[in-house]
Amino acid sequence: MIALLQRVTEATVTVGDRIVGAIGPGLLCFAGAESGDDESLVDRLVAKVLSLRVFADDAGKMNLDLGLGAAARIRGSPPVNSAPT
């Protein structure tokens, strides 16, 4: 299994001519699996992606993982170093 995490301003998933999913600004995770990959590999990959430090802490260092960074965003705190809207 492999995953690629990418920041996007928007993203859509299209099947045929129909959009089946869409997001605005956020993180997009591309995941690839092959025959022989089992549930334990999925669990390890998910844990690895969730532990990636992709959000800045109060000191401006990319030091918060998806759990801590997302929790701060959900509580309403603006991300560190973000431009005011």
Q: pLDDT tens across 10-32, in order? A: 999 999 999 999 999 888 989 99
Asked whether the beta carbons of 66 and 50 are under 8 A apart, the reply is yes
Task: Quickly state the pLDDT bin for 67 (edges 50, 70, 90).
Answer: confident
The domain segmentation of the chain, as residue ranges, is: 2-74
CA distance 54 to 22: 21
Q: What is the pTM of this model?
A: 0.64
Looking at domain 2-74, its CATH architecture is 3-Layer(bba) Sandwich (3.50)
